[in-house]
Chains A and B, each alone.
Chain A
Amino acid sequence: MRGFINYFSGMFNGILSLLKGMGVTGKYFFTSPKTIVTQQYPENRKTLEMFDSYKGEVTMPHNENNEHKCTACGICQINCPNGSIEIVSREVVNEEGKKRKELDKHLYNIGQCSFCGLCIKTCPSNALAWGQEFEHSMFTRDKFIKTLNHEGSKLMQKKGVE
């Protein structure tokens, strides 16, 4: 008797769950223009906005005074598994006569980058961040090497230090 009941209840439960599934896909079908998630990429490139967590490229944020946070410590260069970061530093002497290392050029080769994010994770002064730009194709290889710090930028002075 129990087997008999199980036979029929299993059948009807199966049919019910199948109908539930058809309801989901049917809803998507009949409301389709609204629910479409595909991006029409080349057409919508003017309005396309990538989401914040998208790993497009490594960038160095600058503030409005053209100041960055990079202290030229070189940890990102050491951590980079592909050797795509090279830090060029210069020595400056401040007014007290102390010698200090300062960032000259943060060279980032996007052609070698595997977008692992180790440089951003390990930066002690949070100088690097992900950018959302993703159209990186170039005709020559040397254009892949980007200088992340802007022209004439300085180190952001922390308040209360020095």
Chain B
Amino acid sequence: MKFDIYDFTSFTQWIDQSLRSVMAPFWVMITEMAIIGVAILAFYALVGLFLVYAERKVCAFMQNRVGPNRVGPYGIFQTIADLIKLLMKELVYIKNADKLLFNIAPFIVITASFLAIAAIPFAKGLHAIDFNIGIFYVIAVSSLGVIGILLAGWSSNSKYSLIGAMRSGAQIVSYELSVGLSLITMVILAGSMQLSTIVEAQANGWFIFTGHIPAIIAFVIFLIASTAETNRGPFDLAEAESELTAGFHTEYSGIRFAFFFLAEYMNMFIVASIAATIFWGGWMPFHVPGWEGFNTVMDYIPPFLWYIGKTAFMIFILMWFKWTFPRLRIDQLLTLEWKYLLPINLFNVVLMAFVVLMGWHW
């Protein structure tokens, strides 16, 4: 067995072969699924906890505050304390709520974001499932979350929840278009929907540099649309404290509320990873064609660190948006999508097709 930090393929194959030597192929598949499931679940929980802490710190620094600093050094255990509190809280049952739908709605939301993680390439060979339609799968799966949101609003039997859910639904369905079209723009450039192929195609320069202006436009649109799709500020219309309290999760308490909360942060992580993978090269190190010495130095940094760094930067930008911009009204939000982003996006797809047709990309 050879554990290589630059290429996990041999490591995963070693696990597969050693499992195959002790059990039947069917049980190998089941065991591998269980291992990956547990690994992703642990990763999901850790990243979720860390992102909540990071958001509170970033927000505090942007507002000239200190942020959490009481539990542990620099407050790093604050979110763990919050989690314990949420786990011990009473789950309030709403009298006239639709019990079944009310209970499964948080799980639908969290499953949708959980499914999307499977398709994200973390490093070379560290990739749960490599579909040949990876981007399509991610778009499809991440839009399942809106069903959970609508169910949560509908089943709570509360006007706040219903209006909040309708707003979130309208917002997510609208911005889904822009996310999809901006990714299609990049699919035209990459010539493939497979995420591993897309990352490999960026070995000689990330798409944001090689794709010229249409790639930059697509990136900006993706950033705006994905902020809206994850229901984060400045597009967090569902959470209008003064008129709708907390939107679709008004009636939820305890750990069920925490599921919505966690799903929101994990959606942010997924969106940031997709942006890092499609536009900034994923785990691919920074290469400049022709500079051999520079490229080999860059190759010494493990791909996993490249991936984490790029994703962290994208998450920071999303947090920067949230803590800088004023919130939009619902009509302004839909105006932005249907009158500005969608026409620009359609034009951008044509522009990118033209650039690729003329061979102007590197």
Is the pairing of A and B real? yes
Chain A: residues with CB nearer than 8 A to chain B? 11, 18, 21-22, 24-26, 28-29, 32, 35-38, 40
Taking the closest CB of chain A, its distance from the CB of B339, in whole angstroms, is: 9
Given that A11-B340, A22-B320 are contacting pairs, would A28 and B325 also be in contact in the complex, using a CB cutoff of 8 Å? no
A22-B321, A25-B320, A37-B65 known; 4 other A-B pairs, CB under 8 Å? A28-B62, A28-B63, A29-B58, A38-B64
Taking the closest CB of chain A, its distance from the CB of B133, in whole angstroms, is: 34
Question: Does B347 interact with chain A (Cβ within 8 Å)?
Answer: no
Question: 8 shortest A-B CB distances, which residue pairs?
Answer: A32-B61, A25-B62, A25-B324, A38-B66, A21-B324, A29-B61, A37-B64, A29-B62
Chain B: residues with CB nearer than 8 A to chain A? 58, 61-66, 320-321, 323-325, 340
Tell me the complex Cα distance, A28–B324, Å.
Answer: 11
Residues of A near B320 (CB, < 8 A) are 22, 25-26, 29
Residues of A near B66 (CB, < 8 A) are 36, 38, 40
Residues of B near A36 (CB, < 8 A) are 61, 64-66
Specify which of B58, B62, B65, B325 lies most central, judged by the most chain A CB atoms within 10 Å of its CB.
B62
10 contacts between A and B (CB under 8 A): A11-B340, A21-B324, A21-B325, A22-B321, A25-B320, A25-B323, A26-B62, A28-B61, A29-B62, A36-B64
Tell me the complex Cα distance, A51–B325, Å.
Answer: 32
Whether B340 lies near A28 (C-beta < 8 A) is no
Residues of B near A35 (CB, < 8 A) are 64
Given that A11-B340, A29-B58 are contacting pairs, would A22 and B324 also be in contact in the complex, using a CB cutoff of 8 Å? yes
Taking the closest CB of chain A, its distance from the CB of B340, in whole angstroms, is: 7
Which B residue sits closest to A32, measured CB to CB?
Answer: B61
Residues of A near B62 (CB, < 8 A) are 25-26, 28-29, 32
Specify which of A11, A25, A26, A28 lies most central, judged by the most chain B CB atoms within 10 Å of its CB.
A25
Tell me the complex Cα distance, A66–B28, Å.
Answer: 91
Which A residue sits closest to B66, measured CB to CB?
Answer: A38
Residues of A near B340 (CB, < 8 A) are 11
Which A residue sits closest to B65, measured CB to CB?
Answer: A38
Q: What is the count of residue pairs linking A and B with beta-carbon distances less than 8 angstroms?
A: 37
Interface of chain A: mostly helix, strand, loop or mixed: helix
Taking the closest CB of chain A, its distance from the CB of B65, in whole angstroms, is: 5
Specify which of B64, B66, B321 lies most central, judged by the most chain A CB atoms within 10 Å of its CB.
B64
Specify which of B63, B65, B324 lies most central, judged by the most chain A CB atoms within 10 Å of its CB.
B324
Which B residue sits closest to A37, measured CB to CB?
Answer: B64
Tell me the complex Cα distance, A40–B75, Å.
Answer: 14
Taking the closest CB of chain A, its distance from the CB of B347, in whole angstroms, is: 12
Residues of B near A25 (CB, < 8 A) are 62, 320, 323-324
Residues of A near B325 (CB, < 8 A) are 18, 21
Tell me the complex Cα distance, A38–B112, Å.
Answer: 39
Tell me the complex Cα distance, A37–B63, Å.
Answer: 9
Tell me the complex Cα distance, A75–B61, Å.
Answer: 49
Taking the closest CB of chain A, its distance from the CB of B327, in whole angstroms, is: 13
Tell me the complex Cα distance, A55–B320, Å.
Answer: 37
Tell me the complex Cα distance, A35–B62, Å.
Answer: 9
Which B residue sits closest to A11, measured CB to CB?
Answer: B340
Which A residue sits closest to B323, measured CB to CB?
Answer: A25
Residues of A near B321 (CB, < 8 A) are 22
Tell me the complex Cα distance, A35–B61, Å.
Answer: 9
Tell me the complex Cα distance, A29–B62, Å.
Answer: 5
Tell me the complex Cα distance, A21–B320, Å.
Answer: 10
Taking the closest CB of chain A, its distance from the CB of B314, in whole angstroms, is: 15
Taking the closest CB of chain B, its distance from the CB of A30, in whole angstroms, is: 9
Residues of B near A24 (CB, < 8 A) are 324
Taking the closest CB of chain A, its distance from the CB of B333, in whole angstroms, is: 14
Tell me the complex Cα distance, A32–B321, Å.
Answer: 17
Residues of B near A18 (CB, < 8 A) are 324-325
Tell me the complex Cα distance, A25–B324, Å.
Answer: 6
Tell me the complex Cα distance, A29–B324, Å.
Answer: 11
Residues of A near B64 (CB, < 8 A) are 28, 32, 35-38
Tell me the complex Cα distance, A127–B64, Å.
Answer: 39
Tell me the complex Cα distance, A108–B220, Å.
Answer: 64
Which A residue sits closest to B69, measured CB to CB?
Answer: A40
